[in-house]
């Protein structure tokens, strides 16, 4: 048997979250409790407002994406809420919901904007956080996040570096905007979050959306199918 120890929380009569009694946590906003739980400290008022914006920006995004399809499909197979939501969370792999963590990692790797762009171009990789299918001028959601970060005095090195990366990229390659993932990644970095929590924060933000979709699917009668075609001999 291994030893199980944690610095996060205790249960029962002594229930605490990072040293704060659970009864005090119950007086906090949900987003602030999450911040405390993950960082060990309560957020300032500005950090709290920024964090609420980031979480709210990702609560849901239509039903076409892999996590929603997976959650609803599993529910339709005759499963409970927890099983179906978990199937949605599983879909949040490297290619879906992974751009924020990827971009945070890039911003936290200690290299200059020039080095980063050069490396990505050399390896033929796309840079997470820039590029958008629709917006060619500006991504209004990215601008909103940057605007609020500026206003709240949160913008710092990571936001600067993200903008530099985009500028270098435009010079070297092609005109692309910073998208909402890039803006979130930069601001979360300036808020002090380790990139290894990037995906986790996205999962926290998106779980409500998965719950909503599974609940809606419960009212559907049939199970989800695809009209696949067999192309073997």
- Sites for a copy of itself among residues 135-194 (CB under 8 A): 140-141, 144-145
Q: Which stretch binds a copy of itself (CB under 8 A): 83-91, 103-111, 154-162, 163-171?
A: 83-91
Query: 132 an active-site residue?
Result: yes
Report CA-CA distances (Å) from 42 to 33, 36, 54, 142, 196.
Answer: 8, 5, 17, 26, 20
Q: According to the binding rule CB under 8 A, does residue 92 interact with a copy of itself?
A: yes
Query: 61 an active-site residue?
Result: no
Find the binder of a copy of itself among 43, 47, 70, 188 (CB under 8 A).
70
Nearest to residue 167, comparing CAs of 156, 178, 157, 158? 178
Nearer Cβ to a copy of itself (132/161): 132
List, in sequence order, every residue forming a beta bridge with 10; answer none if it has no partner.
Answer: 16
Other residues' Cβ atoms within 10 Å of the Cβ of residue 187: 27
Give the β-pairing of 20-21 and 16-17: antiparallel
Q: According to the binding rule CB under 8 A, does residue 105 interact with a copy of itself?
A: no
Which residue among the candidates 32, 132, 139, 213 is catalytic per the annotation? 132
**Touching a copy of itself, residues 200-229 (CB under 8 A):** 200-201, 203-205, 207-209, 211-216, 218, 222-229
Nearer Cβ to a copy of itself (18/111): 18
Q: What is the phi-psi region of residue 153: left when phi exceeds 0, alpha when psi lies from -120 to 50, beta otherwise?
A: left
Which residue among the candidates 102, 181, 190, 213 is catalytic per the annotation? 181
For 190-221, letters b (16+ CB in 10 Å) and e give bbebebebbbebbbbbbbebbbebbeebeeee
Find the binder of a copy of itself among 42, 46, 65, 108 (CB under 8 A).
65
State the catalytic residues.
Answer: 132, 181
């Amino acid at each position: 048997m291994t030893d199980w120890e944690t610095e996060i929380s205790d249960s029962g009569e002594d229930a605490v979250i990072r040293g704060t009694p659970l009864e005090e946590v119950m007086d906090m906003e949900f987003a602030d409790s999450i911040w405390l739980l993950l960082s060990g400290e309560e957020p300032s008022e500005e950090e709290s407002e920024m964090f609420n914006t980031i979480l709210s920006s990702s609560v849901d995004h239509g039903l076409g994406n892999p996590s929603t399809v997976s959650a609803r499909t599993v529910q339709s197979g005759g499963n409970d809420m927890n099983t179906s939501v978990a199937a949605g969370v599983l879909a949040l792999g490297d290619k879906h919901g992974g751009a924020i963590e990827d971009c945070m990692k890039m911003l936290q790797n200690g290299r200059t904007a020039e080095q980063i762009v050069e490396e990505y171009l050399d390896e033929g990789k796309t840079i997470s956080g820039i590029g958008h299918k629709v917006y060619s001028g500006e991504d209004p959601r990215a601008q909103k996040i940057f605007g609020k970060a500026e206003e709240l005095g949160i913008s710092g090195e990571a936001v600067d570096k993200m903008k530099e990366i985009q500028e270098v990229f435009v010079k070297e390659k092609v005109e692309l905007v910073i998208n909402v993932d890039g803006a979130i990644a930069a601001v979360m970095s300036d808020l002090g979050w380790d990139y290894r929590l990037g995906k986790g924060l996205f999962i926290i933000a998106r779980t409500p959306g998965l719950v909503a979709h599974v609940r809606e699917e419960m009212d559907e009668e049939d199970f989800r199918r695809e009209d696949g075609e067999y192309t073997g001999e």
